[in-house]
Chain A
Amino acid sequence: MTTDPRLRGIAAELDAGLIARREFLRKSAILTGGTAAGLAVLRGMASAQPKTKLRVWLFKSYVTGGNDILAKHVEAWAKERNVEPEFDWATFGDREQKFVAAIEAGNPPDVAEMNYQGPMRYKAALRDETKLAKDLAAARGGLLPYAARVVQFNGQYFGIARLAFGGGLHVRKDVLAEKGLKLPKVYDPDVIEVAKKCQDPSKDIWGFGQTLNRCDDGNGFMQNILWDYGGGAWDKDGKPALATSNLKANMAALQFAVDTIQKHKIQPPGVMGWNDASNNEAYMAGKLVSTNNGASLYYAMGAKKHPLFEKTQVILTPGGPAGSFVFAGAYNWGVFQKSRYHELAEDMIRWVEDEKRFEEYMKACSGQAGPVYKSRAEHPYWKSDPNYEGMLQNIMRSVWPGYPGPISPAAIEVQAQYMLCDMAGRMVTAGLSLEAALKEAHGRVEEVYKIRGGK
C-alpha cells in the first residue's frame, strides 16, 4: 500500500519529537481532507465532461419485443463505453426517405440498420467495412450465400450482415384438417385446390390472400412467382429479360398470379387495393385460409394471444415448376463515412452481434431474426417450434434481387418502383393482355437498366 509522502513526512517529524501529537493530527487532517476534496472535485469535473454522442438509426419492425431488446443492448453498450446514444427509429414507410434526406443534407447517422437495399444504394456514403464484416463472418462459420451477395460488391463490404426476415405461407391448419387436406407444396395446383375447397365466399372467407398491389408484399410475391416458373426480370448476365429470354416462363407465372384473382377466384374481392398490413388484418379476422407473410404475423398473434395462433401452421412458401424461390430480406449494419466515431460504431456492432446477445434478440423475435451466418442457422432455436422450421428453410433458399444475375442498382430500383406489381396490376385493373403487360413492364425495366448505365 502506498502512503502520501507528506503524511510520511509529518509522521517522521512526530517520531522525532519535532511536532506535538495535536499538531500531527491537525496537519494530517488537512492533508487527507484536502486530498479527498480535491479528488471529489476532479471526479465531478470528469463526469461533467460531455459524453461522445453516437447517432444510431435502428429499424422499428412490427416485432416490438425485438426492438426493445436491440435498444437495450445498444444502451448497455453505451453505458459500458460512456457514450450517449442518440436513437432514431425508421419504419418500413419512412426508412429510405430518411436515408436520402440525411445523406443529401450531409448529416447521416454514425451507424444505421439498413435493409437489403442499403449497401447497394448508399455505398457512396458508406464506409468500407470489409475487415469487420469478414471478422464477424469468420467467427460464425461464414456468410450464407444470399447474405454475401447483398452486403458486398467486388470484394468490398458496405454492410455488416445482421439478420434476414423469416416468414412463409401462414395456413389455417384447423380448416385443412377439418377438410382432410394436406399442406400445399406448390402454388399450382396445391394452393388453388386447398383454397377452393376451404373457402366460403358467402361467408366472406377466402382461400388465399396475396395482393399484387404496389407494396412490399406484392413485390415479394411477384418476384418469387417469376422465379418459381423459371423466369424473372433479369438474366444470368444481369440484363433485362422480362419479355426476351424469360418471356415464356414469365407469361406462365404472370398468368397464374392474375388467375388467382380472375379465374380461380380464390382471393377476396378487394385484394388489389391491399397494402402490407391488409392481409395480416384479414387473416387475423378469420377471413383467409392462407396468406404469405413475414414472421411478424405469427409474432402478433402470439403476442396478442390470438385464438388463431394455435391454429396456424407456417410452412415453406409454395413453389412452381422451376422450384421454390424466396426474395432475401437481409438486414445489415452500415457505418457512414461522415461519422467521426466509426471505431465506436464498429465496437457497437461487435457488441450487439455477440452471439449471446443476438440469441436473446432472436428469441424475442418469433422467427423474424433469421440467420445470415452459417452457425446461426444451426442454432437449436430453429427446432423449438415447428413453425420456425418453415421460416428457416425459406431463409436458407433465399436469393437476391437481380437473381440469377448479380445484384445491381437497376435490380434494386425495379423493386423499389413496384414495376412487377404494376405489371400484374395493369392486367387485372386496366385489362391489358398478358403480352402487353409483360412488354410494357420490360420497357420500364430496360429504361432503368439504361439509365443506370447497364448496371
Chain B
Amino acid sequence: MATVAQLPVERARAPRPRAGLRRRLGADWHLGYLFVLPMAIMVIALVAYPFCYAAYLSLTRKYVGVPPVFVGFENYVRLAYDGFFRRAVWNSFVFTFASVGVKLVLGMVMALVLTSRIRYSLFTGLLLIPWVAPTVVSALNFLWIFDASLGVLNYLLVKVFRILPQGVGWLSEAGTAMASVIFVNVWRGFPFFGISFLAGLKAIPGELYEAASVDGANIVQRFRHVTLPSLRNIIIVVMLLSTIWTFNDFAIVYILTKGGPGGATQVLPVFTYEMAFGAQRLGEAIAVALYMLPALAMVIIVLSRYMRRSHAR
C-alpha cells in the first residue's frame, strides 16, 4: 500500500495523467461514462439548461407573450439603483439572519431540554408540529392571530391579561411587521434545528461528559467544551440549510404582509414574484432572483470551508 510520502513520487513518474486515470479506473473505464450518462443528462436537462436559459432571460427585456429582446446587463444596473430593490436586499438579510439566529438558540434549548431528564417523546412530537404543518396553513393562522381588530393575540393582551391598554397593529407598523414575519419563520423552523441537534447530542459518548466532570468542569463548561465542539458539524449544516431556506422563504412574508406596509417587509423572493406577476417584466424578475446567488454562494462557501477546516483538525 502506498504511503502518503510516496504519492507525489508516483504522480511525478506517471507518463500522462490520463493514462494514470485509466489505470485507476480499470480496463472497463469506458463503462463509467455510460453509468454517469443518465445522471448527466438529467442534470443538464433539469438544472443546467433551465439555469442557463434563466441567466439568458435576465439579460433581456421580456414581457408576457412577446419574444425577449437582448439588453445586456441593463436589468442588473437598473435594479442596483432601485431603492425598493435595495430595501428588499437589506430586509432579506435582516429576515434571514435574525430568523436563523433565533432558531439556532431555540433549537439548541429544545434539544438540551429533550436530552435532559425530561425525556418525554410526547414533547418531541408536539414540538415537531410547526415543522410538519404546511407553511401556508401556518401563515394563514398567524394572519388571523396578528389581526389588530379581530386577532386572538390582541384579545389576550388587552381583554384577558390586560397587559396592554390598546391592541397593537402587529402587521401595520414597520418594526412590528418585520418582527412578526421573523417570529412566524422562527416558530416554523426551530424544530428542525432542535431535532437535528437532538440527534447529534445522542451520538456524543457519555464518557466525554464523565471525564469532563471528573476534571471538575461545571455544566456550562461541559456544554462549551464537549457539547458544542461535538455538534459543530451539525450546527454548520443545519445553519447552512436554514439560511438557504429562509433566504428563499416566500409564503410567510407574502401571506402575512405582501411586503408591506410601504415595503417594510419586502424581501427578495416576494420582490421577484411581484416583478414577474405584478409588473410582468420577466427578464428583470429573473435578474432579481439571480442577484441572490452571490450572497447565498458566499454563505455556502464560508460555512463549508469552516466545516472542512474543522474536519482537518
Q: Does A83 contact B (CB under 8 A)?
A: no
Q: Mark B144-160, 1 if CB is under 8 A from A, else 0.
A: 00111110000000000
Q: Does A97 contact B (CB under 8 A)?
A: yes
Among B61, B78, B149, B279, point to the contact of A270 (Cβ < 8 A).
B149
Closest to A453 in B: B61
Q: Mark B278-294, 1 if CB is under 8 A from A, else 0.
A: 11111000000000000
A282 to chain B, nearest CB (A): 5
- By a CB distance below 8 angstroms, the chain A residues around B83 are 440, 443
Known contacts A269-B148, A272-B173, A273-B177, A417 near B274 by CB under 8 Å: yes
- By a CB distance below 8 angstroms, the chain A residues around B170 are 270, 273
A268 and B65 contact, CB distance less than 8 A: no
Q: Does B168 contact A (CB under 8 A)?
A: yes
Q: Mark A431-455, 1 if CB is under 8 A from B, else 0.
A: 0000000001001100110010000
Count the A-B residue pairs with Cβ separation under 8 angstroms: how many? 140
Among B64, B143, B174, B278, point to the contact of A430 (Cβ < 8 A).
B174
A427 vs B168: C-alpha distance when bound (angstroms): 19
- By a CB distance below 8 angstroms, the chain B residues around A274 are 172
A418 vs B264: C-alpha distance when bound (angstroms): 14
- By a CB distance below 8 angstroms, the chain A residues around B173 are 272-273, 429
A233 to chain B, nearest CB (A): 15
Stretch of A9-17, A33-41, A119-127, A146-154 lying at the B interface: A119-127
B282 and A104 contact, CB distance less than 8 A: yes
B261 and A213 contact, CB distance less than 8 A: yes
A269 vs B153: C-alpha distance when bound (angstroms): 14
B298 to chain A, nearest CB (A): 29
Q: Does A428 contact B (CB under 8 A)?
A: yes
- By a CB distance below 8 angstroms, the chain A residues around B66 are 124
Among B78, B150, B172, point to the contact of A429 (Cβ < 8 A).
B172
- By a CB distance below 8 angstroms, the chain B residues around A448 are 279
Q: Does B276 contact A (CB under 8 A)?
A: yes
B279 and A122 contact, CB distance less than 8 A: no
- By a CB distance below 8 angstroms, the chain B residues around A281 are 147, 150
A448 vs B143: C-alpha distance when bound (angstroms): 32
A110 to chain B, nearest CB (A): 16
Q: Which of B171, B262, B276, B279 has the most CB of A within 10 A?
A: B262
Q: Does A285 contact B (CB under 8 A)?
A: yes
Stretch of B119-127, B252-260, B303-311 lying at the A interface: B252-260
Q: Which of A201, A212, A213 has the most CB of B within 10 A?
A: A213
Q: Does B277 contact A (CB under 8 A)?
A: yes
- By a CB distance below 8 angstroms, the chain B residues around A421 are 260, 262
Among A104, A212, A213, A429, point to the contact of B174 (Cβ < 8 A).
A429
A416 and B148 contact, CB distance less than 8 A: no
Q: Which of B206-264 contact A (CB under 8 A)?
A: 257-264
Q: Does A413 contact B (CB under 8 A)?
A: yes
Q: Does A271 contact B (CB under 8 A)?
A: yes
Known contacts A204-B167, A270-B167, A273-B257, A429 near B149 by CB under 8 Å: no
Known contacts A100-B277, A416-B278, A124 near B168 by CB under 8 Å: no
B264 to chain A, nearest CB (A): 6
A429 and B262 contact, CB distance less than 8 A: yes
A228 vs B83: C-alpha distance when bound (angstroms): 29
A447 vs B146: C-alpha distance when bound (angstroms): 35
A125 and B172 contact, CB distance less than 8 A: no
A447 vs B77: C-alpha distance when bound (angstroms): 13
Q: Mark A404-415, 1 if CB is under 8 A from B, else 0.
A: 000000000100
- By a CB distance below 8 angstroms, the chain A residues around B274 are 417
B180 to chain A, nearest CB (A): 9
B169 and A417 contact, CB distance less than 8 A: no
- By a CB distance below 8 angstroms, the chain A residues around B65 are 103-104, 122, 124-125
B277 and A96 contact, CB distance less than 8 A: yes
Q: Which of B52-74 contact A (CB under 8 A)?
A: 61, 63-66
Q: Does A275 contact B (CB under 8 A)?
A: yes
Known contacts A204-B167, A440-B83, A214 near B261 by CB under 8 Å: yes
Among B261, B277, B280, B282, point to the contact of A425 (Cβ < 8 A).
B261
A100 and B280 contact, CB distance less than 8 A: yes
A443 vs B83: C-alpha distance when bound (angstroms): 10
B166 and A428 contact, CB distance less than 8 A: no
Q: Does B76 contact A (CB under 8 A)?
A: no
Q: Does B84 contact A (CB under 8 A)?
A: yes
B250 to chain A, nearest CB (A): 13
Q: 12 A-B pairs, CB-CB below 8 angstroms?
A: A99-B64, A100-B280, A104-B64, A104-B282, A124-B63, A268-B148, A269-B148, A287-B150, A413-B279, A428-B262, A429-B172, A430-B174
Task: List the 3 closest pairs (A to B, CB-CB), nearest first.
Answer: A270-B148, A425-B262, A273-B171
